[in-house]
Chain A
């Protein structure tokens, strides 16, 4: 299912970091070269690769798992497990023509499924009381955002699986239409049409909810 384009975009920047080039100049060959370096055990390449992949994996896991007791600890833990699994599987990775992001999101989807099955409800660690002023949004704003995010998740859960996956990759993970198409095995045009249909369905469901 989902493999790779996140790594596609992520790894491009990593390749540039390694070679001292601008991220804009990254291309597929450089990504492939960086991935091959990481597979061969180059620590710098591995660090760059994971550094680029991890932010997208974290968001993807957060969007899929949501908050537990108001916190994202479970999702972040799963994202961390995904990164560890990617590191462990990296020596066995073989370039079969698909982007590295497909490989990463494949692992992420399995880890999320495991987390949902186990239904972990561990104790939620709490932060220490801050000593200084807290500049984060206030309680009311946080609650409103939390409620709307939960509504968005509910609506996304009612979408077909491929549309849900597409919206998550496109919006939450921040992939472009081309990268999302690489992950899902679609063309960029098909991604645009599918995202349009998903958005229309989301609008219809949101309108129904607001009327009800």
Chain B
């Protein structure tokens, strides 16, 4: 602030500068009675003299073109927030609409894939030893006899409705698909492959890790009761094992 031999300027007080600016604005806009900060002209001799000068030069003078400047200041305070509010509202609306459309349209595709991926990991890494142990512990489980054959016409399951099984070969997936509200059921039920696929294997692949089962019979999940919502990999393996043993018994007889 100080330079060489020049006199040291007084330190600047921002509040005082702001107050002086308010005073000058009031005088410039001829709002002499409203000087701001609760001050009046009589408190400040300099302001009183400047106001007297302003009043003196305004006598019989054409009016100042103040509206342009005043309205410009007003536009800063009143017009821009309105514009900002509109822009903000539009942006939020677009964001919400986009997010909603993404959830409604893309969520069905993403969720089954994610679930399928996690299910595959779960089965491949954790469940194999347990699966084998369960198979050993329950050689002939009390599970209902699943559809030994993958086609419901050959051996329809007692639990699912026969009408559904006769309509489509992918009956097992249609059970949870039509229920759709179970925690485990919706896996793949909203997927694009679940609804129209005549081949049961791609339909079941997201939900049941059939490709990792001991037998290549991917539609083994057809034995899953329609009211069963929580199906663990161990349950599936038990069913597959029992189904395999049932088939072997049928073949032996």
Contact = CB atoms under 8 A, between A and B. Distances in A.
Interface string B53-88: 111111111111111110111110001000000000
B65 A170 contact: no
A9 B62 CA distance: 16
Contacts of B16: 196
A202 B56 contact: no
Which of B12, B44, B61, B63 has the most A CB atoms < 10 Å from its CB?
B61
Interface stretch (B20-28, B127-135, B158-166): B20-28
B27 A192 contact: no
B57 A151 contact: no
A85 B66 CA distance: 24
B17 to A, nearest CB: 5
Contacts of B45: 203, 206-207, 210
Nearest to B69: A9
The secondary-structure label for the interface of chain A is helix
A170 B69 CA distance: 13
A52 to B, nearest CB: 5
Contacts of A16: 68
Contacts, number: 136
B48 interface: yes
B53 A152 contact: yes
Contact of B65 (A9, A25, A145, A205): A9
Given A56-B64, A151-B49, A210-B45, A171 B71 contact: no
A149 interface: yes
A67 to B, nearest CB: 8
Nearest to A207: B45
B20 A192 contact: yes
Contact of B68 (A23, A54, A153, A200): A23
Interface in A157-212: 167, 170-172, 174-177, 179, 192-193, 195-196, 199-200, 202-203, 205-207, 210
B57 A24 contact: no
Contacts of B69: 9, 174, 176, 179
A145 B56 CA distance: 7
A82 interface: no
A125 B131 CA distance: 118
Contact of B28 (A170, A192, A200): A170
16 contacts: A12-B68, A23-B72, A24-B72, A58-B61, A59-B64, A145-B52, A148-B48, A149-B52, A149-B57, A151-B49, A152-B50, A152-B52, A170-B27, A174-B28, A176-B25, A196-B17
Interface of A: 9-10, 12-13, 16, 22-26, 52, 54-56, 58-59, 62-63, 72, 136, 145-146, 148-149, 151-153, 155-156, 167, 170-172, 174-177, 179, 192-193, 195-196, 199-200, 202-203, 205-207, 210
Interface of B: 10, 12, 16-17, 20-21, 23-25, 27-30, 44-50, 52-69, 71-75, 79
Given A59-B61, A149-B52, A171-B28, 20 more contacts: A13-B65, A23-B68, A23-B71, A24-B74, A26-B72, A52-B65, A52-B68, A56-B64, A62-B56, A72-B57, A72-B59, A149-B49, A149-B53, A149-B57, A170-B28, A176-B28, A202-B49, A203-B45, A207-B45, A210-B45
